[in-house]
Amino acid sequence: MDILTLLRANIRRKKGTFLGIMFLMILVSSLLTMLFSIKKNVTKSIDDAFIEAKVADVFVDVDSRKVTDDMLASLESHPLVERVRTASALLMDKHYFKGKEDNQSWLIVPLNSVVTRKFTDDFTAYEDSVPVPSENGMYVPQGVATKSGCKVGDEIRFVTRGGEYTLTIEGFIVEPICGSAMIGWKTVFVAPETFEKLVAESDAVDDDTMGRVTVIYLDKKADCGLSDSAFAKRINLDTGVQNYAYSSETKTQMKYYTNLFSEITCSVMIVFAIILAAVVVIIMAHNIAVTIEENYTELGILKAQGFTKGRIRLLYALMYILAQLLGSVIGTILAIPLVWKFGNIFQTVVGIIAPKTIDFSSSIPVLLLIILVSCLMVLLATRRIGKVSPVKALTGERRDVYFDSLLTLPVSGNGLSMSLAYRQFSSNKRRYFVAIIICAVLMFFMLTVNLMGTSMRSKSAMEAMGEIFTEVVVRPKEGIFTEEQMEGMDRIAKETAEVDKTYFYRNEYVTIEESTIMCSFVKNPENIKIVSGRAPLYDNEIVITEILEEELGRSIGDKVTVSRRDDSAEYIITGIFASMSDTGRVFSMGWDAGKKLGVTGFAWYGISLKDDSDADKVGAALEAEYGDAVQVTVNTDFLDEETEMIRLAVDIMRYMIYVFSVIFVLVVVSMICSRVFAQERRDLGIYKAIGFTSGKLRLLFALRFFLVAIIGSAIGAVLSLLFSFKVLNRMLRSMGVTNFVAPYTTETVVIPVVLLVAGFFLFAYLVSRKVKKVEIRELVIE
Amino acid sequence: MIQNILTAKDLCKSFAHNGGQVHVLQHIDLEIREKDFTVVMGASGSGKSTLLYALSGMDKATSGQVLFDGKDLVKMKEKELADLRSHDFGFIFQQMHLVSNLTLLENVTVPGYLSHRKTSSEVKKRAEDLLAKMGVSDVMDHRPSQVSGGEQQRCAIARSIIHEPKLLFADEPTGALNRKNTTEVLDLMTDLNRQGQSILMVTHDLRAALRGNRLLYLEDGNVIGELSLPPYEKEEEKSRETQVNAWLSSMKW
């Protein structure tokens, strides 16, 4: 009972601290619960959509001309295969929306039972049924709308082997396998009659190009015991089916790609929320230390009255834990409307409506862990209570104040305010230590997230991470380039403008060490961005990414076997290169090496110019010379829609982190200021007595926190220089980034510094308005 | 001709207490003369500290006027009062009230810098001279917590006059000092007054009161008695003490 009375009194007296901790916990718990819920809901929506569409464990896209009865029979008789299904699809070579060309390969399929969900026009719900589209209509996944901005009624012009067609978008559907805006290739759905017509016209053309595709769906047996990728590998080892595939994916992979963006975004924000939670714990520990200092005499009195050290520590623990518990409960409740409001924030990317249920199963254990850590911190921070001597406390005997002479600078008449502010800071560094740590942590996090955004604005940074940007792209209208075309185009480009680099390349899925991986065949392997080792200059050399190095368990100097259709050859790994293609699961080799696998030429020619304003000129020159045989595309926007979308999301994340950081700074400054104010009330009176105005004293307060913010920002910046790239490599590895590069631009650094420094300065100035209430007469003893 | 430096007219100060009003100062008319060492005495609760706050602008009077250089302190804004403190008034408190994180020298220089009357180097030089004069030059780089109470109070006196104020207010300046330190501090104040410094001191210490040349007695918020004395001379302290004691007895002290 005595504890409860004291607890009530403590809370009343330290209302500001209690409310501050509670408010911070409301922010942390609402953010955590919302993020965990959204993360889980998105994952569940993807899982459900895959189940509903009865997506197979492995699907292999094979040129229909290569599919044989023997191939299918060997798959059906395989002991690990439960079921083999096939479906016919038509390859869409390229398509145009509003005149803009997109070379991503899409598949056209007849509407089938896989499609069970069609969006209403505003994408907020599903229609009751999915009617067959009209003869000139098509359904596309929501990811297409996200990337290109198309809507119902818009027309898409496309090219197949059979010719050029235009169909109207009649609706958007859920296509779980590759409907996400994060995946380049798409499946679009047409009426069965339309499909038959398109297939017939494609089949009527007699050339080497691929028209019809057979998608082979493989389901593993229930007792298979292998992961999807191990199953795919094993099937390929036994049947060689993937050697004939132009792509092969597993269900796990596609779920991973679909969920990748929301996973990374939620994870970054969850890490931020946990950092904020750590900030709360630090503030709490600091507050306890300061309170013990302030209440030294009272603690002595309590001890003299018979309160044990344990009971006093319990008193502290109860107050802070109660604040945290209340904050957690309120925050968790507040998360409910937040999930309703933001639950489908990733729908435009994922292409599936997510449920809006609250997930307590992840947030509550994390919140309890935070509270548990807080309890431990309280126990640690209150150890000093044991050292409080009732006699010393009651007689006012305290330990000497220690001043660090190394950091002390003389108070000067010139710049009096700043030098006094520095003295106030330097003689009580411990008091501001927590603010410096918090400022450093926030600065580090803001800089790290800013670097993510900056890298996506920097062409050179993206190139260093393995992206290839070319202002002019040329593709043959049929088949591959002839050698004469390749030489001629290269010559024209170099004669017309200053060329930085040119690339002839061809990306194709091949089998390396029994796994189907994308291979980039390049004419000029010396242009590959090598991270370690060297470029694959000879016909028996390849380079692989760091991610593939890990996946294959092979490194520089090792030999690997690569198979493509009926050809197979052994290669030596000469280097590690950077590439984000296929989330980093890619390797590369030169043309001569590719010839051993039957690669006869290239289907892409990209020109990177030193001055992108020359792009139109180069495009026109190539068009004039080779316009009959090639398609020239000029694009000086170096970001494609997917990267642009990620950049936008990173920007949103940055702003959210800015807002939360500023709120935290406000609360932290208020709490520290209140403490400092209570401790320095007498000094404030003295300063007023010698002629300082309230305004000048508030300026001193603000300047102190200005110094705190400058020091904290500097520490945060150093931490960023040391660790940001490592953290980002870790965070973005799932996107294929292993060699993160970003310049520290003015914007990257200045915005967080200004936010923190101005935030600390302004909030300290605002919070210190209580200085006005300090009366000089408080100094006088009646 | 001796001039008034501060004039109080019909000065009243009341406080709200238990739903009613307590009238601490009641219609006081008073002149503080230039170069005088004025001492205000009175029993506890007589209102002497309240009078000091009101006259120095530390606290606003409920009504009446406090005129300094023709301006009414009661009507002054915070900035004007701050200017007054940094230029024309000096304060010595019973508890010294030095800023703990400044050295003794810095405690003295800061108000000097603030007044902007002298350059930084001139302020520093004057502060060092004053501290030497107060006998604390050897500890001027120490923090207040590292020196004795007497040394702190001598530093506080130096601080109060660094900007050469026209009037020095002292509230029980010897209240927290031992006998030896009390004498030293009073000697310093007496010296200052001899050099022309106007002082208004509130005290209930007879030894401190002896240093004044004009003694006022306050009772129930009214000045009920006044005693004028010649300037203090140590040799005449005994007879001065007898005279003051007799006066205080007549005031029923």
Neighbours of B252 (CB within 10 A): 10
Query: What pLDDT is attached to residue A113?
Result: 72
A239 lies in the same domain as A154: yes
Q: Is residue A273 part of a domain?
A: no
| CATH code (residue A477) | 2.40.40.20
Using DSSP's 3-state secondary structure scheme, residue A243 falls into helix
Residue A12: HSE in the Cβ half-sphere, 13 Å Cα cutoff? 6
Q: Is residue A304 part of a domain?
A: no
Query: What pLDDT is attached to residue A401?
Result: 46
- CB-CB under 8 Å, A683 with B99: yes
Nearest CB to A400: which of B53, B145, B159?
B145
Q: Is residue A134 predicted with pLDDT exceeding 80?
A: yes
| CATH code (residue B223) | 3.40.50.300
Q: Is residue B253 part of a domain?
A: no
- Beta bridge partners, A472, equal A607, A634
Q: Is residue A497 part of a domain?
A: yes
A680 lies in the same domain as A581: no
Query: In this structure, are residues A394 and A300 in contact, taking their beta carbons and an 8 Å threshold?
Result: yes
B2 lies in the same domain as B73: yes
A446 lies in the same domain as A541: no
Total domains present in chain B: 2
**Residue A75, CA distances (Å) to A235, A241, A315, B129 in order:** 8, 8, 70, 103
Name chain B contacts of A685, Cβ cutoff 8 Å.
97
Query: What pLDDT is attached to residue A84?
Result: 94
Confirm or reject contact between B27 and chain A (CB < 8 A): no
Residues A685-728 have pLDDT tens digits of: 999 988 999 999 999 999 999 999 999 999 999 999 999 999 98
Residues in chain A: 782
In the β-sheet with B71-72, what is the strand arrangement from edge to edge?
A: B20-33, B4-17, B63-68, B71-72
Domain end call among A257, A285, A306: A257
**Residue B87, CA distances (Å) to A780, B34, B163, B192 in order:** 21, 16, 6, 17
- CB-CB under 8 Å, A693 with B109: no
Mean pLDDT of the region A370-376: 92
Confirm or reject contact between B153 and chain A (CB < 8 A): no
Query: What pLDDT is attached to residue A397?
Result: 55
- CB-CB under 8 Å, B111 with A413: no
Query: In this structure, are residues B65 and B10 in contact, taking their beta carbons and an 8 Å threshold?
Result: yes
Alpha helices in A458-515 (DSSP H): 459-464, 483-496
Name chain A contacts of B87, Cβ cutoff 8 Å.
691
Nearest-CA distance from A302 to chain B in Å?
27
Residues A599-654 have pLDDT tens digits of: 888 888 999 888 888 989 999 999 999 988 888 888 776 566 666 777 777 888 88
A626 lies in the same domain as A715: no
Which stretches in chain B have pLDDT values below 50? none
Nearest CA in chain B to A772: B78
Q: Is residue A311 part of a domain?
A: no
Q: How far apart are CA B140 and CA B102, in angstroms?
A: 10
Q: Which residue has the higher pLDDT, A40 or A508?
A: A40
Mean pLDDT of the region A736-741: 80
Name chain B contacts of A420, Cβ cutoff 8 Å.
110
Domain end call among A580, A607, A637: A637
- CB-CB under 8 Å, B110 with A420: yes
Q: Is residue B29 part of a domain?
A: yes
- CB-CB under 8 Å, A777 with B59: yes
ipTM: 0.87
Q: Is residue B9 part of a domain?
A: yes
Find which of B46, B50, B58, B153 to mutate to test the A interface (most A CBs within 10 Å of its CB): B58
Residue A97: closest CA among A25, A154, A42, A162: A154
Going by pLDDT thresholds of 50, 70 and 90, the confidence category of residue A782 is: low
Q: Is residue B121 part of a domain?
A: yes
**Residue A595, CA distances (Å) to A514, A522, A523, A527 in order:** 20, 11, 11, 19
Residues A224-249 have pLDDT tens digits of: 888 898 898 888 888 888 777 777 88
Name chain B contacts of A779, Cβ cutoff 8 Å.
93, 95, 97
Amino acid symbol at A414:
N
Q: Is residue B62 part of a domain?
A: yes
The single residue listed with the structure tokens 């869409």 is A92
Confirm or reject contact between B67 and chain A (CB < 8 A): no
DSSP string, chain B: ---EEEEEEEEEEEEEETTEEEEEEEEEEEEEETT-EEEEEE-TTSSHHHHHHHHHTSS--SEEEEEETTEEGGG--HHHHHHHHHHTEEEE-TT----TTS-HHHHHHHHHHHHTSS-HHHHHHHHHHHHHHTT-GGGTTS-GGGS-HHHHHHHHHHHHHTT--SEEEEESTTTT--HHHHHHHHHHHHHHHHTT-EEEEE---HHHHTT-SEEEEEETTEEEEEEE-PPP-GGGHHHHHHHHHHHHHHTT-
Total domains present in chain A: 3
Report percent pLDDT > 90 for chain A: 41
Q: Is residue A395 predicted with pLDDT exceeding 70?
A: no
Confirm or reject contact between B102 and chain A (CB < 8 A): yes
Evaluated on CA atoms A168, A170, A172, A173, the torsion sign reads: negative
B2 lies in the same domain as B59: yes
Q: Is residue A664 part of a domain?
A: yes
In this structure, what are the phi and psi dihedrals at residue B143, rounded to the nearest 5 degrees? Answer: -85, 160
Query: What pLDDT is attached to residue B9?
Result: 94
Nearest CB to B85: which of A400, A401, A690?
A690
Query: What pLDDT is attached to residue A514?
Result: 80
Using DSSP's 3-state secondary structure scheme, residue A402 falls into coil
Nearest CA in chain B to A419: B110
Determine the structural domain holding residue A139 and report its residue range. Answer: 58-257
Residues A275-320 have pLDDT tens digits of: 999 989 988 888 888 888 777 777 887 777 777 888 888 888 889 9
Q: Is residue A475 predicted with pLDDT exceeding 70?
A: yes
Domain end call among B114, B139, B164: B164
Residues A639-693 have pLDDT tens digits of: 666 667 777 778 888 888 899 889 988 988 888 888 788 888 888 999 998 899 9
Residue B124: partners with Cβ closer than 8 Å, 6 or more residues away: A413, B105, B109, B112
Name chain B contacts of A690, Cβ cutoff 8 Å.
85-86, 91, 110-111, 114, 159
Q: Are strands A530-533 and A515-522 parallel, antiparallel or unpaired?
A: unpaired
B149 lies in the same domain as B46: no
Tokens of A198: 């398109």
Query: What pLDDT is attached to residue A400?
Result: 45
Residue A596: HSE in the Cβ half-sphere, 13 Å Cα cutoff? 16
B196 lies in the same domain as B234: yes
Q: How far apart are CA B160 and CA B183, in angstroms?
A: 18
Of the candidate ranges A10-19, A338-347, B137-146, B225-234, the one whose mean pLDDT is the lowest: A10-19
Looking at every residue in chain A, the average pLDDT score rounds to: 87
Q: How far apart are CA A120 and CA A445, in angstroms?
A: 39
B4 lies in the same domain as B79: yes
Nearest CB to A411: which of B98, B110, B172?
B110
Q: Is residue A394 predicted with pLDDT exceeding 80?
A: no
Query: In this structure, are residues A632 and A529 in contact, taking their beta carbons and an 8 Å threshold?
Result: no
B183 lies in the same domain as B228: yes
Nearest CB to B114: which of A401, A414, A692?
A692
Predicted structure pTM score: 0.79
The single residue listed with the structure tokens 């016209």 is A201
Q: Which residues of A touch B (CB under 8 A)?
A: 400-401, 403, 410-414, 416, 420, 423-424, 427-428, 682-683, 685-696, 772, 775-777, 779-782
Q: Is residue A130 predicted with pLDDT exceeding 50?
A: yes
Name chain B contacts of A689, Cβ cutoff 8 Å.
58, 85, 91, 93, 97
Query: In this structure, are residues A64 and A88 in contact, taking their beta carbons and an 8 Å threshold?
Result: yes
- CB-CB under 8 Å, A691 with B111: yes
Q: Are strands A186-190 and A106-110 parallel, antiparallel or unpaired?
A: parallel
A80 lies in the same domain as A220: yes
Mean pLDDT of the region A168-174: 95
Domain end call among A572, A606, A637: A637
Q: Is residue A127 part of a domain?
A: yes
Residues A424-465 have pLDDT tens digits of: 888 878 778 888 998 999 999 999 988 888 887 777 777 777
